[in-house]
């Protein structure tokens, strides 16, 4: 596998200097170190590093990240099939990291935002606590506040579960399709509440670590 520095100046990844416009071939014994390096993953996601599979450049960033992490070329959709079914993905191990957050709501539409705290993880479900009959929710995945993926801050990458009718008190939704997420991507639940109240949301995340 090769990586290409697309920046206008020399930069360093995992101790390896790469001139602007030049490729570096990652040896097999180096691969885990590069895959575990947050700067490398972030720069691939921003387009500052181009991934080459040994034959051609991978221009689609989502596919490039998947290939680099050893999860293979997937759909350009941020949600893809098949889901993980074991404790390992490529050279990484999975660690469940359920995160919870409370939101103070007003009657009407509310943006409930959660920022991904891990360098690389998978997201495959959430729980809503404290809903009332008549509440609805829409799930969106947004780019980072600096536009890591698209170059546009907070750009909506995809929308799921549009205007879902949420049952009273507790709602749980787990997808058989898991999403690859990187640090600082945002999960937004647009929650339309029939009254002012506090709700809790739990996010089912699975951190990838070597």
| pLDDT value, residue 99 | 95
Of 76-80, 105-109, 169-173, 196-200, which range is least confident?
Answer: 76-80
Per-residue pLDDT reduced to its tens digit, 34-49: 887 778 888 898 889 9
Higher local confidence (pLDDT), 45 or 176: 45
pLDDT in tens, 65-110: 878 876 544 333 443 444 555 566 666 778 888 999 999 999 999 9
- What confidence score (pLDDT) does residue 97 get? 87
Tens-place pLDDT, residues 99-151: 999 999 999 999 999 999 998 888 988 999 999 999 999 999 999 999 888 88
**b/e 137-152 (16+ beta carbons within 10 angstroms → b):** bbbbbbbbeeebbbee
What's the topology of domain 94-209? Jelly Rolls (2.60.120)
The overall average pLDDT reported for the chain is 85
Q: DSSP for the chain, please give it.
A: -EEEE-SSS-EEETTEEE-TT-EEEPPGGGHHHHHT-HHHHHHHHHTSEEEE-SSSEE-SHHHHHHHHTTS----SSSB-SSPP-SSEETTEEEEE--EEEEEEE-SEEEEEEEE--SSEEEEEEEEEES--TT-EEEEEEE--TT-TTTSSTT-EEEEEEEEEEPPSSEEEEEEEEEEEEETT-EEEEEEEESS-EEEEEEEEEEEEE-
Is 80 exceeded by the pLDDT of residue 197? yes
Q: What is the pLDDT of residues 17-35, one digit of tens each?
A: 999 999 999 987 778 778 8
pTM to 2 decimal places: 0.61
Stretch(es) of the chain classified as CATH 2.60.120.730: 94-209
């Amino acid at each position: 596998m090769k990586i290409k520095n697309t920046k206008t100046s020399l930069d360093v990844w995992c101790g390896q200097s790469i001139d602007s416009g030049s490729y570096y071939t990652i040896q097999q014994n180096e691969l885990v170190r590069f895959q575990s390096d947050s700067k490398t993953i972030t720069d691939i996601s921003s387009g500052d590093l181009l991934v080459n599979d040994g034959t051609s450049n991978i221009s689609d960033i989502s596919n490039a990240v998947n290939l680099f992490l050893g999860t293979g070329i997937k759909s350009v959709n941020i949600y893809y099939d098949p889901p993980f079914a074991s404790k390992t993905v490529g050279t990484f191990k999975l660690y469940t990291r359920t995160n919870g957050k409370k939101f103070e709501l007003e009657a009407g539409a509310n943006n409930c935002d959660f920022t991904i705290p891990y360098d690389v993880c998978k997201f495959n479900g959430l729980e809503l606590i404290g809903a009332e009959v008549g509440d609805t929710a829409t799930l969106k995945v947004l780019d980072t506040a600096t536009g890591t993926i698209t170059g546009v801050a907070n750009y909506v990458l995809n929308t799921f579960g549009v205007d879902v009718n949420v049952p009273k008190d507790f709602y749980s939704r787990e997808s058989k399709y898991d999403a690859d997420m990187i640090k600082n991507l945002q999960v937004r639940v647009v929650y339309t509440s029939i009254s002012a109240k506090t709700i809790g949301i739990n996010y089912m995340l699975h951190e990838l670590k070597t």
